[in-house]
Amino acid sequence: MLNSYHYIKLIKKKLKNNLLQQTYILKRLKKDKELFLKRLFALKNYNSTYNKKFLLIGKNGISGKKWENFNTFLLILEKSIKSEKNKLFLQNQKINDILFTYTQLKQKIKAWDILEKNRKNYYISKKNQFLSANNDFFLQLIQIKKKLNL
């Protein structure tokens, strides 16, 4: 049968496993965020380059079909940029959610640590009281014995 000490240990172990899991998830999410940032940066650079090319070619004159192709390409590029920004936004939300959960788990572990420490201190004080009572009892016996021998 489990006593309170074992329950505390089991709960803390489960919380620590959950915390470890959240840590792994957080690392993966941050890696994905870096990837989204790199892709967004590349798409923005690509968009900037093609906008400049579009303006240069437009000044020199451009056929209707080429203009339509360029314009379609730039619109697709803009949609890709918006999509990456949205992915980045969602990734940041996921990271914030995980950080919140992580913080809560840390607080719960700290609370259980305090409970465990208080429990240990309680049992130590009870043991000390018992030992002190025994010492007092034996001191009284010794004093009685001394009085009887006189």
For residue 33, what is the domain's CATH number? 1.10.287.1700
pLDDT at 34 over 70: yes
Answer yes or no: pTM beyond 0.85.
no
**In this predicted structure, what is the pLDDT of residue 2?**
61
pLDDT at 1 over 60: no
Per the model's pLDDT, the better-predicted residue between 8 and 105 turns out to be 105
Compute the distance between CA of residue 143 and CA of residue 138 in angstroms, rounded to an integer. 9
pLDDT band with cut points at 50, 70 and 90 for residue 111? very high
- 80 is in which domain, residue-wise? 4-149
Whether 29 contacts 56, CB under 8 Å: no
Neighbours of 22 (CB within 10 A): 19
pLDDT at 147 over 90: no
Query: How many distinct structural domains can be found in the chain?
Result: 1
Determine the average pLDDT of the residues in 25-48: 94
pLDDT band with cut points at 50, 70 and 90 for residue 150? low
Question: What is the residue-averaged pLDDT of the chain?
Answer: 87
Whether 22 contacts 123, CB under 8 Å: no
Compute the distance between CA of residue 81 and CA of residue 77 in angstroms, rounded to an integer. 6
